[in-house]
Amino acid sequence: MRRLTVLGATGSIGVSTLDVVARHPDRFEIVALSGHRQIDRLAEQCIAFAPRIAVVADADAAVVLRERLTGRVPTEVMHGVEALEMVAALPEVDTVMAAIVGAAGLRPALAAARAGKRILLANKESLVMSGDLFMREVSAHGATLLPIDSEHNAVFQCMPAKGREGVRRILLTASGGPFRRTPIADLANVTPEQACAHPNWDMGRKISVDSATMMNKGLEVIEARWLFDTPAERIDVVIHPQSIVHSMVEYVDGSVLAQMGNPDMRTPIAHALAWPERIESGVGVLDLAAAADLVFERPDLDRFPCLKLAFDALRAGAGTPAVLNAANEVAVAAFLEHRLGFRAIADVIAATLDTLPDQPSSTLDEVFAADAAAREVARRQIGARA
Ligand code: NDP
Ligand code: MG
């Protein structure tokens, strides 16, 4: 029996995780769940899975959740970041799904690493912000890191069981998002609703905008660098609008191994939950004949400047990816609130990176200092444009 904490249970990945878990009550038990703003949804999840602990953002939310649960389930309600770190490290938990969005996911994911857990990592921002430090903690504490991001889960499945012998390149596929064919001149005026209407994947709003700018792929290149200990020069991005091939590994003998499947996050989630075994995920059979053409194209960096910014940040190293990530979070939030245009997201990030070169990132304090400085600069940039 695997005993789980699901961080970010109320989000898109969290809901898919509980969907897979509910199919296998003999295999998985939920010990703790966390949510942030969606208290009604978290209450329903607590009633369905009866976790020992539920964690919310603040004391007010905790009062509301306690009211909802009284007389229904004996779940203890806690709040705040320390409670998130605590449930990520509980002795009775062996597996932690890290599915909080953004920089807020870093501390609890790191707590799971330091407690030597099996970490199912959806929160790519953790590795973007502090890849070196995070991977050192994983190895120092004997934690197991399994990628949930569909591309990295695909790469994981296509990699040799041990080592990197014979691997030449990692090929990350990208759908190109909703604006792959939109005239570049029209991109300045696209709305958050258009940006969040992803052609293939149903995801949270932040990652949906990241997919539309292709910053998501940029963050994933950085994520792949750390997960697979592979330099930027050996990671390539290929546009594949159908999202059937989830990524590929190329070997020195010319073999290219791909993992395919319907675009449904329950596949990588089920893979990581059961690894090294395989379990049913609820995902439909892939009908390749119905999928028809599988198309592959090179990304256009004029259309997707965020992708280039991410590659440059990875090459710059140290705290630069943390600056990139924080500036992106602030710019995307402003875009979602109609305070910033779509094309200006990349401009704000570029200006923030120019203002803050060479940030150190050897310690967690330095990483959060780079994050805070970048948020401040990005906010000023956005303010100056208003
Ligand atoms: P959602 O926005 O759907 O969910 C985010 C979750 O995090 C929710 O449970 C939310 O709570 C919680 N949350 C938000 N802010 C905070 C905070 N400050 N502190 C604590 N909890 C918080 O995002 P997704 O599920 O789409 O994505 C989650 C992560 O997985 C991201 O890092 C994303 O990049 C990654 N990912 C997602 C994929 C997908 O298909 N969705 C694919 C690959 C990676 P509440 O909703 O209650 O406010
Ligand atoms: Mg992905």
pTM of the model: 0.97
Asked if 224 and 151 touch (Cβ cutoff 8 Å), the reply is yes
Give me ligand 1 centre to Cα 226, in Å: 21
Which protein residue's CA is at the shortest distance from atom 8 of ligand 1?
A: 11
SS3 content of the chain, % helix, strand, coil (to 5): 50, 15, 35
Burial class of residue 324, CB neighbours in 10 A (0-12, 13-18, 19+)? buried
pLDDT for the residue numbered 10:
98
φ, ψ for residue 153 (rounded to 5)? -65, -40
Pocket mutation for ligand 1, best pick of 16, 101, 150, 221 (most atoms within 8 Å of C-beta): 101
**Alpha-carbon dihedral sign for residues 189, 192, 195, 199:** negative
pLDDT of 182 reads 95
CA dihedral 313, 319, 323, 324 (to 10 degrees): 20
User: What is the Cβ-side half-sphere exposure of residue 352, based on CA atoms within 13 angstroms?
Assistant: 37
Residues with CB under 6 A from ligand 1: 8-14, 35-38, 99-101, 104, 122-125, 149, 201, 203-204, 206-207, 265
Q: How far is the CA of 278 from the centre of ligand 2 (A)?
A: 21
Q: Which ligand is nearest to the CA of 109?
A: 1
Q: Hey, what domains does the chain have and what are their CATH numbers?
A: 2-148 (3.40.50.720), 162-262+288-308 (no CATH), 317-386 (1.10.1740.10)
Distance from C-alpha of 237 to C-alpha of 54, rounded to nearest angstrom? 39
- The confidence score (pLDDT) of residue 386 equals 81
The chain-wide mean pLDDT, for the chain, equals 97
For the residues of 222-275, what is the DSSP string, one character each?
HHHHHHTT--GGGEEEEE-TT--EEEEEEETTS-EEEEE--S-THHHHHHHHHT
Closest ligand 1 atom number to CA of residue 7: 9
Hey, whose CA ends up nearest to atom 26 of ligand 1?
A: 204
Largest separation between any pair of C-alpha atoms in the chain: 63
Ligand positioned closest to the Cα atom of 148: 1
- Which atom of ligand 1 approaches the CA of 84 most closely? 20
Give pLDDT, residue 277: 98
pLDDT score for 311: 97
Instruction: Summarize pLDDT for 347-383 with one digit per residue, the tens.
Output: 999 999 999 999 999 999 999 999 999 999 999 999 9
Supply the pLDDT for residue 224: 98
Distance from the CA of 292 to the center of ligand 1, in angstroms? 32
Closest C-alpha residue for ligand 1 atom 20? 36
pLDDT at 112: 98
* Atom in ligand 1 nearest the alpha carbon of residue 102: 32
Distance of CA 179 to the CA centre of its chain: 21
Distance, CA 147 to ligand 1 centroid (Å)?
15
Spell out, as residue ranges, where the chain has pLDDT lower than 70: none
Residue in 5, 6, 7, 12 to alter for ligand 1 test, most ligand atoms within 8 A of Cβ: 12
Query: What pLDDT, in 10s, does the model give residues 1-13?
Result: 999 999 999 999 9
Tell me the CA–centroid distance for residue 98 and ligand 1, in Å.
9
**How many degrees, rounded to 5, is the angle at CA 133 between CA 369 and CA 139?**
160
E strand intervals along the chain: 2-7, 28-34, 53-56, 76-79, 95-98, 118-121, 144-147, 167-174, 235-239, 245-251, 256-260
**Contact predicate 32/9, CB 8 Å:** no
Task: Please identify, by atom number, the ligand 1 atom nearest to the C-alpha of residue 34.
Answer: 9
Per-residue DSSP letter, 331: H
β-bridge mates for residue 297, sequence order: 239
pLDDT at 374: 98
Scored b (16 or more CB within 10 A) or e, 111-122 reads bbbbbbbbbbbb
Q: 149 CA distance to ligand 2 centroid (A)?
A: 5
Q: Which 3 state secondary structure label does DSSP give 196?
A: helix
CA distance 101 to 278: 27
Using DSSP's 3-state secondary structure scheme, residue 311 falls into helix
pLDDT of residue 215: 98
